[in-house]
Structure 1
Amino acid sequence: MEVVRPVFEAFIDINIVLALALALWFGLKVLLDKSPLRHAYGLKLRLLNGIAFAVVLTPLAVLIYLKAKLLFGLARDPLNLSDLLVASYLKGDIAMKASAFESLLAWRGQATEHFLLRDTPIWLGLFSLLMLGALYYVVRLGLQILRLRATLSRCHEWRQFGSVSLLISDHLAVPFSTRGLRRRYVVLPAGLLTRPADLRLVLRHELQHLRQRDVEWEVLLECARPLFFWNPAFKLLKREVEVLRELACDQQVVTRKGTDLRAYCDCLLRACRRGFSQQAQPMELPVVTLVEVRRTWFGAGSSQRLRDRMLTMFEHRSYDRRLGHLRHLSLLFGAALLVVAIGIQKPADWSHDRIMLDAIVNLEKLNALNTFGRP
C-alpha cells in the first residue's frame, strides 16, 4: 500500500492539472478570439503545445521540487496551497469553524485513503479498470508503432534530403508525415506522381508539419494517453491541438508566394475523396495526415472539418512579424501550471501553523463538550 499510495496520488494530481490546463486554454482562447490575433493559428498552437507539455512534465517537476526541498531542509513549503490557506486562516482572513476548516483540508487525503483501503468489489473493480485501461493503451501504442514500421517497410524511397525521406506507397490513399528515432518521413500515394501540381502542394503541407514539429507533439500526446484515457479533458485538449495544427499549417502554406488558394482547396478535396472512395483506414499514431479520413454514423465528420478548414483559409493573413514576445507566453502559462501542481501536493503534518490549527480545533471541541455538559 505504501508503494501504491504515492503513485495513485501522482495519478490524481496530473489529471487535476490537466483539467486546470484545459480551463486555462479555453479562457485564453476566448481572449485571443476577441483580439486582433484571433486568426493567429500558429501562435495559438504554440501556446497550447506549451500548456500540454507542462502537464506532461508535472510529475517530474514535482519530484524535482520535493527533492530540492529535502536537500535544502525547508520546514515550510512556500508554494503549498494547503499551508497558505492555513496561514491565511490563522490570520483571520477566513471566517470558518476550525473543525470544519480542518475537515475541508483533509478531504482529499481521506478520499484517497478511502479509495485505497476499501476492499469491496465496487472499489476493487474501479481500481482494476483504471489499471487495465492504462495497460491497454500502452499495448495499443506498441502495436501502432509496429504497424507503422510495417507500413513504412512496404514503401519505396523516392528522394532523401537531410534527415527527411520521401517515400512512395502503392497501397495508401492519403499522404502523411511521421518519424522514426533518427529520420523523418513523408509518405505519398503513388498516384500523386502523375499530378505535379497536387504533389507540390502536398509536399509544402507535409514539410510544414515537420517544421512545426507536429509529429513530435502527436507522439508526446499519444504516449501520455495511458495516464489520461479516462479523462474527457484529454480528449478535448488533443482535439484542439489537431484542429490548430492543421489551421496553422494551412495558413503557412497559402501565405507562401506562388500558392493558389483555390488549387490548394481542390487538392484537399481530392485527397479526402480518394480516402473515402478507396476505403482508407484512418492513420493514427504517430502520423499527421493531409486530411482526416474518419467515418461517423452520419458520414459527415471529416468532411465537415475539412469544410471548416477551407473556410478559415480566406483569413490567411500572416502574423509572424507581429508576434514578437508573444511566442514565449507558453513558458509563462506552463510555469503557472507547474506551480499549481506543486501547490496541490500533500503538505507536511508537523508545521507550526498546523500544530496551532490542531490546538484551536481541540479547544473548540473542548468548549463544545463543556457547553454540552452544563445544566
Structure 2
Amino acid sequence: MIAGEALLDVFIDANILFLLGYAFWLAVRAGMNGFGLRYAYGTQLRLLNAVFAAIVCAPFIALGYDTLQQSGMAQNVNVNLSDMVVSYYLNGGFEMKSSSFEGLVLARDTFMLNVLHGDGIAARTVIAFFLVGLVIGLVRLTYSVFCLCRIVVSGYAWRSVGRIRIRVSDRTLVPFSTRGWRNYYVVIPSQMLSKEQELKVALAHEFQHIRQGDLEWEVVLEALKPFFFLNPAYRLWKRQVEHLRELNCDSEVLSQGRINISTYCDSLLSVCQRTLRKDRAMVLAVPKVTLVTADRSSLFGGNGGFLKHRIQSILDARRPAHQRLVFMAMAVPLLAAVTITTIAIQRPGDWSQDRLMLSTVVNLDRLDEINRLSTFGRLRN
C-alpha cells in the first residue's frame, strides 16, 4: 500500500506540474513575443523540452529537498504551499469555518485514501474510468507501433547513411522518420522517387528532425500519452511541441541555403494535398515525425490550419541572433519556477506547529458546538 500511495502521489504531482508548467511556458512565450523573439522556434522548443524534463525529474527533486531537510541543510526553509495556506488562515488572512478549511486542506489525502481503498462510488468511478482509458490508450499505442514496424520492415531498403536507413514504401503517402533501438529510419513514398525536388526536401527535413533529437522526444511523449489522457495540459503540451519542432525544422533546413523557399513551400503543399486522401496507416502509425500532415479540422475552416502558419513563418521569419544566450536567460527562471512549484505542492511530511494549531481550533469549535447544542437542549426542558 505504501508503494501504491507513493506512485499515486507522484502521478498527482505530475498532473499538477503539467498544468502549471504549461501556464509558465505560455507566460514565457508571451514575454519572448513581446521582446521580438517570436521566431526563435529552436529556443522555444528547447525551453519546452527542458520544462518537460524537469517535470519528469520532479520525484528526484522532491527527494533531494527532503534529504537536505533531514540533514539540516534546509531545515529552516519551508516553501510547502499547504503549510503556507494554513499559516495564513490562522493569522486571520481569510474567514472560513475551521472544519471546512481542514477538509479542504486534507482533500488530497482523503482522495488518495479513497482511491487506494476503493471507498465510495466516486472513487470507484474514477478508478474504472482511468483504467478503461489507460487500457484503450495502451492498446492503441501497441497496435500503432505494430503498424509502423510493418510499414518499415516491408519497405524496400534503398540507401544507408551511418545509422540512418532510408526505405521506400508504397504503403504510405507521406515521408516520415522513426527510430528503432539503435537505427533511425526514413520512409519515402514510392511515388516520390520520380519527384526530385520533393525527395530532396523530404530527406533534408527528416534528417534535420533526426539531428534535433525530435524522434526521441516523440517516443517519450507518445509513451506517456495513455497515462495522462485526462490532463488537457498534456495534450496541449504535445501539440505545442509538434508545432514548434516543425517550425524549427523548416527554419534550420532553409538556413542551410541548399533549398530555396519556393521549392520548399511547393513541396509542403503537394505532400499535404496527398494526405487528404484516406491514409489509415499514417493515422495509426506512431511514434513518428512526418514531413507534413493535413489538419482536416481546420483546412476547411477559416484559418487554413497549421500548414498555413508554417508557410507564413517560412516567408516572414528571421533567425534571431544569440539563441543560446536567450535560452539560458529564459531557462534559469523557468526551471527555478518549476523546481519551487515541485517542492511547494508536496504533501507535508509531518505535523507542523500550524497544523497542530489548526487541529486544536477544529476540536475547540466542535466542543463549542456540542456544548451549545447541549445547553439549548437543557433550556428547552
Shorter chain as denominator, the TM-score bin is 0.7 to 0.9
Deviation digits for residues 92-133 of structure 1, max 9, x if unmatched?
A: 473556826544422332343345556444531321121222
Paired residues for 1:54-203 under 5 Å: 54-63=54-63, 65-66=65-66, 78-87=78-87, 92=91, 94-96=93-95, 99=98, 101-117=101-117, 119-203=119-203
Contact persistence 1:255–1:316 (CA under 8 A): no
Residue 150 of structure 1 aligns to a residue whose secondary structure is helix
The more displaced of 122-131 and 264-273 is: 122-131
**Are the counterparts in 2 of residues 51 and 333 from structure 1 also a CA contact under 8 Å?**
yes
The whole-number CA distance in structure 2 between the counterparts of 1:266 and 1:214 is: 24
Q: Which amino acid aligns with 1:192?
A: M
Of 361-370 and 289-298, the range deviating more from structure 2: 361-370
Which shifted more, 254-263 or 79-88?
A: 79-88
Amino acid at match of 1:21: G
CA contact (8 A) 1:56 1:224 kept: no
What does 1:1-375 correspond to in 2, within 5 Å? 2-63=2-63, 65-66=65-66, 78-87=78-87, 92=91, 94-96=93-95, 99=98, 101-117=101-117, 119-277=119-277, 279=279, 281-283=281-283, 284-293=285-294, 295-296=296-297, 304-319=305-320, 321-328=321-328, 329-330=330-331, 332-362=333-363
- Report the Cα distance in structure 1 between the residues aligned to 2:372 and 2:350, rounded to whole angstroms: 30
Stretch of structure 1 that moved more, 275-284 or 322-331: 275-284
Moved more, 6-15 or 283-292: 6-15
Judge conservation of contact 2:43–2:327 (CA < 8 Å) in 1: yes
Moved more, 303-312 or 102-111: 102-111
Structure 2 letter corresponding to 1:181? W
Distance 1:106 1:77 in 2: 22
Contact 2:174–2:291 (8 Å) recurs in 1: yes
> How much has 1:65 moved relative to structure 2?
4.4
Shift of residue 88, structure 1, vs aligned partner: 5.1
SS in 1 for 2:38: coil
Task: Measure how far apart 1:246 and its partner are.
Answer: 1.0
Give the Å deviation of 1:288.
0.4
Deviations 1:324-353 (A, max 9, x none): 322233354234223312221211333334
1:255/1:317 contact within 8 Å kept:
no
SS in 2 for 1:314: helix
CA distance in 2, matches of 1:122, 1:97: 26
- Check conservation: 1:247, 1:312, Cα contact below 8 A: yes
C-alpha contact 2:205 2:249 (8 A) present in aligned 1:
yes
179 and 312 in structure 1: CA distance in 2 versus 1, 3 angstrom threshold? same
Q: Secondary structure at the match of 1:158?
A: strand
CA distance in 1, matches of 2:302, 2:214: 22
How far 1:309 sits from its partner (Å)? 1.2
335-344 or 31-40, which deviates more: 335-344
Q: Deviations over 1:1-23 (max 9, x none)?
A: 55543333322221111111121
Cα distance change of structure 1 residues 145 and 301 upon mapping to structure 2, 3 Å threshold: farther
Sequence identity, in percent? 35
- Runs of 5+ unmatched residues, structure 1: none
Q: Is the 8 A contact 2:147 2:281 kept in 1?
A: no
Q: 3-state SS of the aligned residue for 1:313? A: helix
Task: Give 2:80's aligned amino acid.
Answer: N
- The code of the aligned residue for 2:307 comes to L
- Please say which of residues 283-292 and 72-81 is displaced more in the overlay: 72-81
Q: CA contact under 8 A between 2:209 and 2:249: conserved in structure 1?
A: yes
Corresponding residue pairs, total: 373
Kindly report the root-mean-square deviation, in angstroms, between the aligned alpha carbons of the 2 structures: 3.2
For the residue of structure 2 that corresponds to 1:145, the secondary structure is helix
Change (3 A) 1:326 1:152: same
Amino acid at match of 2:36: P
Cα distance in structure 2, aligned partners of 1:231 and 1:335? 23
Instruction: Quote how far apart the aligned CAs of 1:172 are.
Output: 1.9
Q: Secondary structure at the match of 1:166?
A: strand
2:164/2:183 contact within 8 Å kept: yes
Cα distance between partner residues in 2 of 1:125 and 1:95: 34
Cα distance in 1 between the residues matched to 2:244 and 2:168: 27
Q: Pick which of 358-367 and 200-209 moved more.
A: 358-367
TM-score norm. by structure 2 comes to: 0.84
